[in-house]
Amino acid sequence: MRDLILITAGYLIGSIPWGYVVAKLLRGVDIRTVGSGNLGAANVWRVLGFKAGLTVAVLDVGKGFAAALLGLWAGDELTGLLAGIAAMVGHWRPLFMGLNKGGKIVATTGGVALALAPLASLATGVVWVVTFLLTRYTSIASMLAALALPLFALALGSSALVVVFSAGAALAILLLHRANIGRLLSGTENRFELRRRPAESRERATNVPAPAARGRVRRAFRRLVPGEGSSG
């Protein structure tokens, strides 16, 4: 019963759609209707900018970390793994978004690994950053980092459970990036420009509503309800 409660808690934590919440609070935007339509940090970054994307990435990592750490604290490594996996499933199919498409579990997987294999997780984060800086493709960075995770977990002495989890998570991430792989092969995958040209910045500003007036906390939170707000 204890493990079931922890796994359920992990799923509910993972179901918090931070990409949707942050976009709604900052700009009143339903992130599902712009860019790729994905709830993940990459789409938020592409639509709303680096700071918003980084905020979502940190929060999504936090979901996996909190779920796995809760399982470790209240149970054991296996319980932590199961709670973390539940958070990943929640991120992929969030209950609070009606089980519709969520994110591709990259950041949430990183959070689970951070709780269970911190050194391997940090090394994988370095792989992601270096790959992204070299290629400007978040999809390539995410897939290479996913493939590196089980290798680092094995090399750094993680348990067999964590290594198997890392390998399974890598496979899941690759499967969730099938469309990205197709676009990469056809040369149509979106590539990030870290320094946007003025015309591109104006275009992004035109397509996304301006922030609400300062001090309107109540109005900002009302935007979280689907159907309300300026563009929800």
The answer to whether the CB of 143 falls within 8 A of the CB of 132 is: no
The answer to whether the CB of 104 falls within 8 A of the CB of 176 is: yes
Q: How many CA atoms lie within 13 A of 196 on its CB side?
A: 15
CB atoms within 10 A of CB 131: 19
* 25-55 exposure pattern, b = at least 16 Cβ within 10 A, e = fewer: bbbbbbbbebbeebbbbbbbbbbbbeebbeb
pTM attached to this predicted model: 0.81
Query: What does the alpha-carbon distance between residue 83 and residue 98 come to, in Å, rounded to a whole number?
Result: 20
Query: What does the alpha-carbon distance between residue 69 and residue 83 come to, in Å, rounded to a whole number?
Result: 9
pLDDT, one tens digit for every residue, the chain (232 residues): 888 999 999 999 999 999 999 998 888 888 888 887 888 888 898 888 889 889 999 999 999 999 999 999 998 999 999 999 999 999 999 998 888 888 899 999 999 999 999 999 999 999 999 999 999 999 999 999 999 999 999 999 999 999 999 999 999 999 999 999 999 999 888 888 766 543 343 345 345 554 444 444 455 545 555 554 443 3
